Amino acid sequence: MLLENKVAIVTGGAKGMGRAIALKFAEEGADVVVTALHIEGARKVAEEINALGRKGLAIKSDISKSAEVKDMVEQTIKKFNKIDILVNNAGGVGVTGGDTDTATEEDWDKIIDVNLKGAFLVTMAVVPYMKKQKSGKIINISSMGAVNPAVSVLHYHAAKAGMLGLSTNLAFELAPLNIHVNAIVPGPIETPFWDSLQPPGPERDKFFKALAAKEVPLGRMGKPEDIAGPALFLASGMSDYVTGQVIYVAGGQPLLAHAATFLSAAEQ
């Protein structure tokens, strides 16, 4: 049990990568607080955690609102008395467009609030407890669009790039207190994130297959569980000498250009 008797908060834990991370942590012995805007989804994940023999707590929380974040953290401390692990996973786009022709100030504020300000608020609420116990693991979920965008989505990609800067600064400040801060950059992962862009079905499967063949050196789309494994590493004692790092969980992106891999090169 890599996380035996640990307490974790996973924001955006009701589905996709957040759900996979929460369940992986529970399988390894952690009690997990699952936060989400949609409480029913969070409750289902908490029930799955309970079925694994750990304690799951679902809390409805808009992480862009400091009062709700404060209440969420207070509920966590009241039930578990400590916080060992924080995964800042909550985020999303929720608007159409985002290039220089379509991005608006209103959309900018909304996306930055959810994807960057929210992580800041949750971190600021959790860190005092980690400082007190002089230990902690913080994992920030960024996006490939922050470093290697395939389309222009200015506000979302800027926010996710900000997550990387937030991670580096926190790691620098908190290292003397044995608080580790690292970031994960996911590649193309099959999650409900895609549902608003293309409904599940044969056409989406065909699109995913083509996308993976063209852009991912490993030749497949990622699954939420592919993110959960590295998150477990960063949350556990296996990474006790790792902080301030960015792990690309992206099938070889972005450092390996797909066309440049030996077996995929045109001349082969």
* pLDDT over 80 (residue 192): no
Which structure tokens are listed for 195? 């549902």
Which structure tokens are listed for 120? 């800041």
Q: Which residue in 236, 211, 231 sits closest to 222, CA to CA?
A: 211
* pLDDT over 80 (residue 216): yes
- The neighbour count for residue 113, using CB atoms within 10 Å, is 17
In whole angstroms, give the CA distance from residue 121 to residue 1: 30
> What are 84-106's pLDDT values in tens digits?
999 999 998 888 888 999 999 99
Which structure tokens are listed for 62? 């808009």
Quote the pLDDT of residue 257. 59
Strands 56-60 and 85-88: unpaired
Whether the CB-CB separation of 28 and 1 falls below 8 Å is answered with yes
Q: 268 pLDDT band (50/70/90 cuts)?
A: very low
Q: Which residue in 6, 36, 32 sits closest to 21, CA to CA?
A: 32
Mean pLDDT, residues 178-193: 91
* pLDDT over 90 (residue 53): yes
For 222, phi then psi, to 5°, come to -85, 160
* pLDDT over 70 (residue 197): no
Model-wide pTM > 0.75: yes
Q: Which residue in 251, 89, 253 sits closest to 160, CA to CA?
A: 89
In whole angstroms, give the CA distance from residue 207 to residue 19: 24
Quote the pLDDT of residue 215. 85
* pLDDT over 50 (residue 259): yes
Q: Which residue in 197, 249, 194, 198 sits closest to 220, CA to CA?
A: 249
Domains of the chain by residue range:
7-194+222-254
Active site residue 156: yes
> What are 124-179's pLDDT values in tens digits?
999 999 999 999 999 999 999 999 888 899 999 999 999 999 999 999 999 999 99
- The neighbour count for residue 196, using CB atoms within 10 Å, is 11
Mean pLDDT, residues 13-19: 96
Please state, in angstroms and as integers, the Cα–Cα distance from residue 232 to each residue in 20, 53, 260, following that order. Answer: 11, 18, 31
Catalytic annotation, pick one of 129, 156, 241, 248: 156
In whole angstroms, give the CA distance from residue 210 to residue 250: 16
Report the CATH fold assignment for 7-194+222-254.
Answer: Rossmann fold (3.40.50)
